[in-house]
């Protein structure tokens, strides 16, 4: 006999996800519904089988060691000698030179590193979005509809514009995860090429655009007015630059 209680309610009860009131209501129902009672027995049996079989696979020691080696890189051990004073002085002078050089170049080095990591993540996210059904969380070309959808999901104001007049058709948006934080993505299409424009709030100062390519995809990244943007596509670099200028003029 099919009962009125939906499958999700039964499951919610089993997983302890119902409120006290809902759970009590379900328990009253359970007293005279054989269908739900037997479903509950099955759920319990399955859960028990999974638990008893000990399918949880903990991390192997080799993985722990590799992570530990990354977190605590071993400093090269110095020869145990008794250096003379001038040895110390020479070492101190050398250190000073190294420190000065590092101080002058490291912001750029670090920034390049960051850029490479970021480009990798963005291109990965772009690839994921090309899977069927993964491009948009909201499929629409209506700026207001997309804005309303994003309002409940991201905490920053987005420049949402359709540039269909210039050949960049707004197809919708979604929320993606880059570097462990949620970012907004606007999805455009230009001559059949999908273009993902990732955007998130930042505290960093404005930058001029940086571009690159990775796995056959072009990306351009820039910051303006406390927002960082990264557009990625297999479209021509010149087209991507055109879209960047259109977006930039609307920020």
Partner 1 sequence: MSELEPEDRMRFEQLVLPHIDAAFNLARWLLRGRTDAEDVAQEALLRACRFIRGFHGGDARAWLLQIVRNTCYTWLEKNRPMELSMEFDEEIHLQASATPETLAISGDDRGRLILALETLPPRFREVLVLRELEGCTYKEIAAITSLPIGTVMSSLSRARRQLYSALANSSQKGAVREV
Binding stretches for partner 1 (CB under 8 A): 7-8, 11-12, 15, 17, 42-43, 45-53, 55-60, 62-64, 66-67, 70-72, 109-110, 113, 117, 124-125, 127-128, 131-132, 175-177, 179-181
Which CB atom, from 151 or from 179, has the smaller least distance to partner 1?
179
Q: Shortest Cβ distance from residue 78 to partner 1 (Å)?
A: 19
Which CB atom, from 67 or from 91, has the smaller least distance to partner 1?
67
Element (H, E) at 195: strand 193-201
C-alpha closest to that of 190 among 235, 224, 130:
235
CA 199 to chain centre: 11
Which CB atom, from 62 or from 249, has the smaller least distance to partner 1?
62
Q: Shortest Cβ distance from residue 53 to partner 1 (Å)?
A: 5
d(CA 81, CA 84): 9
Q: Shortest Cβ distance from residue 72 to partner 1 (Å)?
A: 8
Q: Shortest Cβ distance from residue 215 to partner 1 (Å)?
A: 9
Nearest 5°: phi and psi at 221? -125, 135
Query: 């230009």: which residue's tokens?
Result: 190
d(CA 244, CA 235): 13
d(CA 124, CA 59): 25
Q: Shortest Cβ distance from residue 180 to partner 1 (Å)?
A: 4
Which CB atom, from 63 or from 91, has the smaller least distance to partner 1?
63
Helices of type H across 130-229: 143-151
Which CB atom, from 100 or from 177, has the smaller least distance to partner 1?
177
Asked if residue 221 lies in contact with residue 115, where contact means CB atoms within 8 angstroms, the answer is yes
């Amino acid at each position: 006999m099919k009962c009125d209680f939906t499958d999700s309610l039964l499951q919610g009860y089993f997983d302890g996800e119902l409120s006290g009131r809902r759970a009590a209501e379900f328990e009253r129902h359970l007293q005279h519904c054989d269908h739900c009672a037997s479903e509950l027995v099955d759920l319990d049996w399955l859960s028990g089988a999974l638990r008893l079989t000990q399918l949880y696979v903990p991390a192997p020691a080799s993985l722990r060691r590799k992570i530990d080696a990354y977190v605590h890189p071993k400093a090269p051990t110095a020869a145990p000698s008794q250096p003379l004073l001038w040895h110390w002085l020479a070492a101190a002078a050398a250190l000073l030179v190294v420190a000065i050089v590092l101080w002058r170049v490291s912001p750029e080095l670090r920034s390049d590193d960051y850029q490479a990591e970021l480009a990798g993540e963005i291109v990965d996210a772009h690839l994921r979005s090309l899977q069927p059904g993964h491009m948009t969380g909201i499929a629409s070309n209506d700026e207001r509809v997309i804005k309303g959808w994003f309002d409940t999901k991201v905490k920053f104001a987005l420049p949402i514009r359709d540039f269909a007049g210039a050949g960049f058709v707004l197809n919708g948006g979604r929320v993606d995860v880059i570097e462990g934080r949620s970012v907004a993505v606007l999805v455009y299409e230009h001559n059949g090429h999908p273009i993902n424009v990732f955007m998130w709030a930042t505290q960093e100062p404005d930058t001029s655009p940086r571009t690159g390519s990775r796995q056959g995809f072009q990306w351009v990244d820039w910051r303006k007015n406390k927002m960082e943007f990264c557009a990625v596509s297999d479209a021509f670099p010149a087209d991507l630059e055109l879209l960047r200028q259109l977006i930039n003029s609307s920020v």
